[in-house]
Amino acid sequence: AVRISLKKGLSIRDQMRAAGVLDDFLKHIKYDPVKKYQPSQG
Amino acid sequence: SVVREPIANHLDSSYFGEISIGEPPQKFLVLFDTGSANLWVPSTDCKSPACFNHAKFQPSASATFTPRGQSYNVSYGSGSVTIVLGSDTLRIQSITVREQELGLSQEEPTQPFYFAAFDGILGMAFPSLAVGGTATALAGMLEQNQLPEPVFSFYFSRQPTYDYGGELILGGVDPQLFQGDITWAPVTQKLYWQVALEEVAIGQSVTGWCGQGCQAIVDTGTFLLTVPQEYIESILEALGAQETSYGYAVDCSDTQSMPQLTFGIGGARLALPPAAYVLNSNGYCTLAIEATYLPSQDGQPLWILGNVFLKEYYTVFDMANNRVGFALSA
């Protein structure tokens, strides 16, 4: 078997907050974690 | 103070590893995502700011690239990516898949992909979920006999660092990475790695929320434990949490005395201690949970077992028998 070491990325939230774009993003995105499971248009 | 639905939580960390595509190999960092089924990386054609911040595939530099031309949108929780299909050689260490179908991104939403630590995504869900009906990377590995066993497994460290967050094992299971027996649960819908959730308990009390059945998707591409929104208030009350714009806040000094959450899966009781579901960020503690507003495809309440759960349970994905195995992580 092949073993792939996984790195852990820095928090996207913290990076967006540091860049000053988090609040604006949260106001505009209607996020739902399940959205990714809806069959996408293709 | 309640400001808004704390969806900032989901923009947390992700775990990724290295693959290469093309001849000569072009390297990429990808999120290995059991919650989606497409393989895509940024391409040199992409003009979105997010692409400038990541490695980009250059088709003209690969002797083995074949364009396929079709364009599709692949949607994720925070937006969708436009890809154009092609095929090329995929390598993951000693694994080689020739003529693997893949997407080359043409457009990516700046937020949050610009800030992602990974370049692209390697989806590990079932082929029926793949946009454009493209062959998944795992299907290619199986067809070209690249895996000794038709399984893969994930270990996520309880104390992750940037350099070591865990391990993906393609083609096997590592007994060093878990303790006790593996509990198996059959996949209930061959789109994602979805299993039946028989029961949820908070501390010693069984909630009864799954009396009519619940479903749970095992998703390495989701960071948090995702709860059907109709249960969020009860959980906050039971755990003494306050909703703030930074998430569901709790007093860090209470963590030790908070109850464990228990999930009935495959006839076993999988416990999640407070140390696993409370995030402590510089002395500010929040619950590692978020709400979902949509039921599963068959209408039952849908939970998502993200990295927060998978740190506690080493997870085996059995492609031959369509089942998921859970064992307490080492």
Q: Which amino acid is at B280?
A: N
A17 exposure class (CB count in 10 Å sphere: 0-12, 13-18, 19+):
middle
**Cβ under 8 Å to A: B residues 122-151:** 129, 131-133, 147-149
Measured distance CA(B212)–CA(B200) in Å, rounded:
12
Asked if B94's CB is within 8 angstroms of A7's CB, the reply is no
Q: Match 């000794």 to its residue by tokens.
A: B148
Q: Which amino acid is at B268?
A: A
pLDDT at B77: 67
Using CA atoms, how far residue B198 sits from A24, B133, B260, B263, B291, in Å, is 39, 32, 17, 7, 19
Element at A13 (helix H, strand E): helix A12-18
Asked if A29's CB is within 8 angstroms of B132's CB, the reply is no
pLDDT at B3: 28
Nearest 5°: the CA angle B196, B157, B287 is 65
> B136, B127 in Cβ contact below 8 A?
yes
DSSP category for residue B315 = E
Per-residue pLDDT of A1-42, as tens digits, reads 999 999 998 878 778 888 898 888 877 776 677 777 765 543
Measured distance CA(B96)–CA(B103) in Å, rounded:
18
Per-residue pLDDT of chain B (330 residues; tens, 9 = 90+): 222 333 444 567 789 999 999 999 999 999 999 999 999 999 999 999 999 989 999 999 999 999 998 999 988 767 789 999 999 999 999 999 999 999 999 999 888 899 999 999 999 999 999 988 899 999 999 999 999 999 999 999 999 988 999 999 999 999 999 999 999 999 999 999 999 999 999 999 999 999 999 999 999 999 999 999 999 999 999 999 998 877 899 999 999 999 999 999 999 999 999 999 999 988 999 999 988 877 777 789 999 999 999 999 999 999 999 999 999 999
**How many Å from the N-terminal Cα to the C-terminal Cα in chain B?**
39
- Which position among B12, B33, B88, B163 bears the catalytic label? B33
Close Cβ partners of B228 (under 8 Å, ≥ 6 residues apart): B209, B214, B291, B292, B295, B301, B302, B303
Asked if A13's CB is within 8 angstroms of B8's CB, the reply is yes
Element at B276 (helix H, strand E): helix B274-277
Using CA atoms, how far residue B113 sits from B7, B26, B46, B256, B322, in Å, is 16, 20, 13, 36, 31
Q: Which amino acid is at B256?
A: Q
Shortest distance between the Cα of A8 and any Cα of chain B, in A, equals 5
Measured distance CA(B87)–CA(A11) in Å, rounded:
32
Measured distance CA(A15)–CA(B13) in Å, rounded:
10
Shortest distance between the Cα of B75 and any Cα of chain A, in A, equals 5
Shortest distance between the Cα of A6 and any Cα of chain B, in A, equals 5
Using CA atoms, how far residue B208 sits from A31, B201, B213, B252, in Å, is 28, 8, 10, 28
Measured distance CA(B270)–CA(A27) in Å, rounded:
36
